[in-house]
């Protein structure tokens, strides 16, 4: 329980960082307004989702619209939909960084994944971490393990915190003794 809360808190901080970094750059003003409106109407699911979808129509490949939709689905517990957005984030980050479209084919030499000042590769690695977490939560443990292994390959210093996910994956089914 405590680990799950810590992982969610870490995920929130990562997504907050990414949203703040990529929000303004190249985002149409109307899309930014819609993202803000979605945040203000978060307690009204249909209204917030409509704003997010309209923002995505205006800027379908902009990381800010993807992150907004990801966060909405994540915090609403709509994990299957969130996973779909995580996959779109991985594709967007791969395209933006000239990486292979299949994350399994990405190699550590392809981008500066350990450099947290490299925003594009950071978006890719955070997206992969979200993907690993979501596949675990949805019960696809083999897929989650593969994504975690890839995270550890790309970030051997584990700045992203993939070992926390690995620990949770390895402990699944064991009773929480906290």
Tens digits of residue pLDDT in 94-137? 999 999 999 999 999 999 887 777 777 889 999 999 999 999 99
The predicted model scores a pTM of: 0.82
Cα distance between residue 68 and residue 108, in whole Å: 28
Domain assignment present for 69: yes
Calculate mean pLDDT across residues 33-38: 96
What is the domain extent for residue 19? 2-171
Which CATH number characterizes residue 140's domain? Answer: 1.25.40.10
The DSSP element (H or E) to which 98 belongs, if any, is: none
Domain assignment present for 178: no
Tens digits of residue pLDDT in 59-81? 998 999 999 999 999 999 999 99
Q: Which residue has the higher pLDDT, 26 or 143?
A: 143
Label residue 25 by pLDDT band (50, 70, 90). Answer: confident
Label residue 18 by pLDDT band (50, 70, 90). Answer: very low
What is the domain count for the chain?
A: 1
Are 35 and 140 in contact by the 8 Å Cβ rule? The answer is: no
């Amino acid at each position: 329980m405590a680990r799950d809360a810590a992982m969610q808190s870490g995920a929130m901080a990562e997504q907050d960082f990414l949203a703040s970094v990529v929000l303004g750059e190249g985002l149409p003003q109307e899309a930014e307004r819609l993202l803000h409106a979605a945040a203000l109407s978060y307690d009204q699911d249909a209204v917030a989702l409509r704003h997010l979808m309209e923002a995505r129509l205006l800027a379908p490949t902009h990381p800010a619209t993807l992150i907004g939709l990801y966060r909405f689905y994540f915090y609403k517990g709509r994990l299957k939909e969130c996973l779909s957005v995580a996959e779109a984030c991985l594709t967007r980050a791969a395209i933006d960084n000239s990486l292979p479209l299949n994350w399994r084919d990405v190699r550590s030499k392809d981008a500066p994944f350990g450099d947290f000042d490299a925003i594009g590769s950071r978006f890719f690695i955070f997206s992969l971490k979200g993907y690993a977490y979501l596949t675990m939560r949805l019960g696809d443990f083999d897929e989650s393990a593969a994504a975690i292994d890839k995270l550890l390959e790309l970030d051997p210093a584990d700045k992203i915190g993939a070992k926390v996910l690995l620990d949770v994956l390895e402990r699944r089914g064991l009773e929480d003794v906290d």
